[in-house]
Amino acid sequence: MKPARFEYVAAESADEAVSVLAEHGHDAALLAGGQSLVPLMNMRMARPGVVIDLNRVRELDTIRLDGVLEVGALVRQARAQRAPEVAEAAPIVVSAIGQIGHPAIRSRGTIGGNVAHADASSELPAVLVALGAEIVARGAGGTRSIPAEAFFVTHFTTALSGELLTHVRIPRAEPGVSAAFVEVARRHGDFALVGAAARVRVGADGTCAEARLVLSGVAGAPFRAARAEEAIVGRRLDDASALADVERLVRDEVSPTSDVHATAAYRKRVAGVLVRRSLEQAAPR
Amino acid sequence: MSARAPSGEERVVQLVVNGEKRRGIAEPRLLLVDFIRHELGLRGTHVGCEHGVCGACTIRLDGEIVRSCLMFAVQADGATLETVEGLAPGDGLHPIQQAFREKHGLQCGFCTPGFLLTAQTLLEENPDPTEYEIREYLSGNVCRCTGYVGIVDAVHEAARVMRTQA
C-alpha cells in the first residue's frame, strides 16, 4: 500500500498555497497533519496529482486570544489541547480534542485538517457548530468567514471552494454559558459512533435560557437537535423530566444509518443518552 | 549511504537520527517509514497497517510520537528523529526494554518498537501513571500476541525502576 506518484510543493506562505491550489484545482490536495489524507493516499482512494504541503507555513501556526479565540489551521491538536488560551476561552475544545484518536495522531493532526476533512463522526465539527464558531477561508478571490453551521455540508464535503482554511474563530466563553462534549466509541480512540456537544446559557432564575445541542455521527454533517433545544429552554438542567423529554425528542429527530459498527436503532438510542449526558455535564455546578 | 545525487523528482533529505546527522534521497511519495528502513537502513521501525491504525511504525519527530507511515520522507527534511535503535545506550537495554523482557511484554516482537517509543514518551510526561493512563496512552498501538496485560505490567515496572533511578 503505497501512494501513487505526485508532484510535491512545500508552500512557504498561505498566499503561495492558495495560488498553487488555484492553478491545479481539483488535481491538488492540501496536506496539513496528514492523518486523514495520507491513509487515503496510501490506499489510493485519493490520488492527487499535486500535494501542497502546508507544514512550513508559519503564519497558519498561531493561537491568538482577544475578543475571540483564533486558532490557525496548522496548529497541532496536541498543542491546542495544552494551550492556556484554548483552556481559558473554550474548555470544551480541550476536552473534545482529548477524544480525537490517540496521542500519536494528535501530535501530528491539525485543527484545520480535522475541520476541513469534515468526517461525519469527528468531534470538532460538532463542537464548532455548538459554539457558533466561524471558519475563515482564503481563495484567489479573497478571504471570507463562514459560520460553522453553513461550513459543513455533508460527508467529507464543506463550503470550501478552491480555498484554503486559514483559521477558526471561536467565541470566548462568557459568564453563565457553559458547554460539554461526550461521545461513544467501540474502543478508546476509535472513530466515535455518536457524539454530542451542548452549549447552554443558564439565567438568573436557574432555568436554561438558551441551548445549542449538536450531534456527530447521525448525519453527513453536524446535526442540530432543534426540537430538543426548544424543549430544554425554560426548564432547569437538573430537572429529570426535562432531560427525559430531551432524550426522547433527540431519539425521534435523528435518522442515522446502520453499518458494520452499529445499527441505526442503537445510534438513535445512544444519541438521546449522549445529549442528556452532555447537558448534565454542561450544567453549572 | 546514498552518496548518489537525486534524479528527476527526487530530493535530498537531511536530518538528525538518534543524534547522528544523516542524508538520504527520496521521491515525494516515499513514506517516512520506508525511508527510515530502506534508505537509512534502520529496520527496527516496523511497517504494519500502513494507514495509521496499528502504531508499529511509531517514531519520535522533534520529540513527539508520530506514525511514520503517515508522513512523507521529504517532509522530515531538517527534522530530528528518534527510532527504537536510539533507545538504549550502547549494547544494554533501556529500562523499558528490560521491563518488557521481564514482564512478558512481547511475544513475536513486531509491535514492540512502537510500544517502546510510546511508553517512553508517556513516562517522560507522566513518571507514575495509573493503569488507566497507561492503557489510554497506549491505545493507539495494536498487539496481536500478548493481549496487553504483560505490556501494561511492563510499563508499570519500567516506571517504578525509572523513578528509583531518577
The mean pLDDT value of chain A amounts to: 97
Interface test with A, best of B11, B66, B82, B136 (most A CBs within 10 A): B66
CATH 3.10.20.30 corresponds to the domain A178-282: no
The answer, yes or no, to whether residue A128 has pLDDT greater than 70, is: yes
Where residue B146 falls among pLDDT bands split at 50, 70, 90?
Answer: confident
CB contact under 8 A, B72 and A2: no
The answer, yes or no, to whether residue B1 has pLDDT greater than 60, is: no
**pLDDT at residue A285, as a whole number:** 74
State mean pLDDT over B154-163. Answer: 98
Number of alpha carbons in the 13 Å side-chain half-sphere of residue B115: 28
**pLDDT at residue B4, as a whole number:** 75
Matching CATH topology for A60-171 and A178-282?
no
**pLDDT at residue B2, as a whole number:** 58
Fold of A60-171: 3.30.465
CATH number for domain A7-53, candidates 1.10.10.10, 3.60.15.10, 3.30.43.10, 3.40.50.300: 3.30.43.10
Q: pLDDT tens digits, residue range A152-192?
A: 999 999 999 999 999 999 999 999 999 999 999 988 888 99
The mean pLDDT value of chain B amounts to: 95
**pLDDT at residue B91, as a whole number:** 86
Q: pLDDT tens digits, residue range A39-52?
A: 999 999 999 999 99
A14-20: Cβ within 8 A, 24+ apart: A14/A57, A14/A59, A14/A60, A14/A138, A14/A164, A14/A166, A15/A138, A17/A52, A17/A54, A17/A57, A17/A164, A18/A138, A18/A139, A18/A140, A18/A163, A18/A164, A19/A140, A20/A50, A20/A52
**pLDDT at residue B90, as a whole number:** 84
Residue A115 grid cell: 475541520
CB contact under 8 A, A42 and B135: no
The size of the A-B interface in CB pairs under 8 A is 86
State mean pLDDT over A239-244. Answer: 97
Q: How far is CA B135 from the centre of its chain?
A: 18
Helix (H) or strand (E) holding A144: strand A142-147
Domains in chain B, ordered, with CATH?
A: 11-86 (3.10.20.30), 95-165 (1.10.150.120)
Please tell me the distance from the alpha carbon of residue B115 to that of residue B112, in angstroms, as a whole number.
5
State mean pLDDT over A221-240. Answer: 97
Whether A45 contacts chain B with CB within 8 A: no
Parse chain A into domains and list their residue ranges. 7-53, 60-171, 178-282
Q: What percent of chain B has pLDDT over 90?
A: 90
Where residue A199 falls among pLDDT bands split at 50, 70, 90?
Answer: very high
pTM: 0.96
CB contact under 8 A, A189 and B140: yes
Q: pLDDT tens digits, residue range B5-60?
A: 787 789 999 999 999 999 999 999 999 999 999 999 999 999 999 999 999 999 99
Instruction: Select from A6, A35, A103 the Cβ nearest to the Cβ of B29.
Output: A6
State mean pLDDT over A117-131. Answer: 97
Contacts of B75 in chain A (CB under 8 A): 10, 34, 53, 55
Beta strands A164-171 and A134-139 are antiparallel
**pLDDT at residue B8, as a whole number:** 77
